[in-house]
């Protein structure tokens, strides 16, 4: 009887191990069945152990009871510990994060929600902006930095009216974060706080879009980018690098950083914009654009009066 009980507990422990292995390979249904069977087996052996212990105790063979059941008690405790670990770890695993953006994007980077924003080398733009509808089957650029054919960071509305933060890598492959306009995506027709960040984290690169300080889109690329190649001082506001394909939007303020921001800094900017909502804005309507000469000194130039944005006090 003792050998049967010891062997039974061993079988139960083996069942737990097998259930854990199946759970790791996503065979959840079979893993649950094995775990339940093993649990019932352990309860039965525990009952038998208590029943036999009482019988031995009553027969005055207390020393025999202590010696013969000590090993079984240890096995039972180990089995209960294994059961607790199994149920607490295997069936409460977090779900894999889903990619935010266009499912037809040319790459499949590793993505994850940004649980804790952190300061990383790179660049970021934080602004009070209002996006307006503009007809035309083309891209409508808000900002554009870098080179025409590679190592380029762009913010635009796609031809199918999808907000896009895109990085063009050294091989000419595009990696976009795309978010629909309206609804729970990017607001349309009203001023809001928009943040677009591009950061280097070890040997990876991440792109992040924020709306009113909260994440709306994020991708992580499995390679490191040379920040200097983006050539921010040669960038354009309101059109592409050639001054064409402009977007329609109103811009109150824009703050540029040579890094990404942590959570506290993002919240500080959100509060700052809330306290500066009644300020003048600059109007871009598809034909207006400016060349960035210096980000730190806010030096933006447009020598052609017909392409200069319109300053609005109200």
* Residue 170, pLDDT score: 86
Q: Yes or no: say if 151 and 214 are a contact pair by the CB < 8 Å rule.
A: no
Q: Is 39 in the same domain as 180?
A: no
45 — pLDDT class (breaks 50, 70, 90): low
Per the DSSP assignment, residues forming a β-bridge with 154 are 144, 166
Same structural domain for residues 194 and 60?
Answer: no
pTM: 0.63
What confidence tier does 53 reach under pLDDT thresholds 50, 70, 90?
Answer: low
Q: Has residue 114 been placed in a domain?
A: no
CATH classification of the domain holding 282 = 2.60.120.200
- Which of residues 70, 91, 112 is at a domain's end? 91
Q: What is the pLDDT of residues 274-299, one digit of tens each?
A: 998 899 999 999 999 999 876 554 57
Q: Are residues 200 and 51 in the same domain?
A: no
Burial 160-186 (b: 16+ CB within 10 A, else e): eebbbbbbbbeeeeebbbbbebeeebb
pLDDT value of residue 23? 46
Distance in angstroms (rounded) separating the CA atoms of residues 102 and 81 = 45
In-domain check, residue 110: no
- Boundary of a domain, candidates 43, 71, 91: 91
> What is the chain's length?
314
Mark whether 151 and 271 lie in a shared domain: yes
CA distance 151 to 136: 27
The verdict on 25 and 173 lying in the same domain is no
> At residue 193, does pLDDT exceed 60?
yes
Is residue 174 located within the same domain as residue 235?
yes
Q: Is residue 115 part of a domain?
A: no
Same domain, 57 and 148: no
What is the pLDDT, as a whole number, of residue 65? 52
pLDDT of residue 293: 75
Q: Is 272 left (phi over 0), alpha (psi -120 to 50) or beta?
A: alpha
Residue 167 gets the label, from left (phi > 0), alpha (psi -120 to 50) or beta, of: beta
Q: Is residue 113 part of a domain?
A: no
- 249-288 per-residue burial string, b: 16 or more CB within 10 A, e: under 16: bbbbbbbbbebbbeeebbeebbeebeeeeeeebbbbebeb
Do residues 65 and 73 make contact, with C-beta atoms less than 8 angstroms apart? no
Residue 48 falls inside a structural domain = yes
Number of domains in the chain: 2
pLDDT, one tens digit per residue, over 16-35 is 554 454 444 344 455 556 56
Higher pLDDT, 272 or 32: 272
Write phi, then psi, for 290 (nearest 5 degrees): -140, 145
- 180 found inside a domain: yes
d(CA 65, CA 73): 11
Q: Mind listing the pLDDT tens digit for each residue in 195-246?
A: 999 999 888 999 999 999 999 999 999 988 877 767 677 899 999 999 999 9
- Flag whether 108 is in a domain: no
98 assigned to some structural domain:
no
CA distance 200 to 228: 12
Range of the domain at 253: 121-312
Q: Which of 220, 239, 272 lies closest to 115, judged by CA?
A: 220
Q: What is the model's pLDDT at position 263? A: 92
Do 15 and 81 have their domain in common? yes
Q: Are residues 186 and 60 in the same domain?
A: no
The pLDDT value given to residue 277: 87
Q: How far, in Å, CA of 245 to CA of 274, rounded?
A: 31
């Amino acid at each position: 009887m003792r050998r049967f009980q010891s062997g039974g507990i061993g079988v139960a422990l083996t069942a737990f191990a097998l259930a854990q292995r199946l759970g790791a390979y996503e065979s959840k249904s079979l893993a649950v069945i094995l775990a339940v069977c093993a649990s019932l087996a352990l309860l039965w052996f525990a009952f038998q152990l208590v029943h036999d212990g009482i019988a031995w105790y009553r027969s005055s063979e207390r020393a025999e009871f202590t010696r013969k059941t000590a090993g079984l008690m240890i096995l039972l405790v180990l089995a209960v510990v294994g059961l607790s670990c199994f149920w607490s770890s295997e069936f409460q695993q977090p779900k894999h994060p889903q990619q935010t953006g266009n499912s037809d994007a040319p790459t499949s980077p590793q993505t994850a929600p940004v649980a804790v924003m952190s300061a990383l080398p790179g660049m970021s733009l934080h602004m009070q902006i209002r996006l307006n509808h503009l007809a035309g089957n083309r891209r409508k650029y808000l900002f554009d930095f870098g080179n025409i054919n590679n190592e380029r960071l762009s913010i635009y509305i796609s031809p199918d009216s999808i907000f896009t933060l895109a990085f063009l890598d050294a091989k000419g492959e595009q990696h976009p974060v795309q978010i629909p306009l309206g609804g729970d995506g990017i607001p349309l027709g009203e001023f809001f706080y928009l943040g677009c960040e591009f950061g280097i984290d070890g040997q990876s690169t991440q792109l992040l879009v924020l709306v009113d300080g909260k994440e709306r889109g994020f991708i992580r690329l499995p390679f490191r980018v040379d920040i200097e190649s983006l050539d921010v001082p040669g960038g354009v506001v309101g059109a592409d690098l050639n001054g064409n394909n402009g977007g329609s939007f109103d811009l109150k303020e824009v703050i540029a950083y040579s890094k990404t921001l942590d959570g506290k800094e993002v919240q500080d900017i959100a509060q700052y914009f809330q306290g500066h909502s009644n300020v003048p804005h600059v109007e871009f309507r598809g034909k207006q654009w400016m060349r960035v000469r210096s980000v730190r000194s806010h030096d933006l130039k447009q020598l052609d009066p017909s392409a200069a944005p319109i300053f609005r006090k109200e």
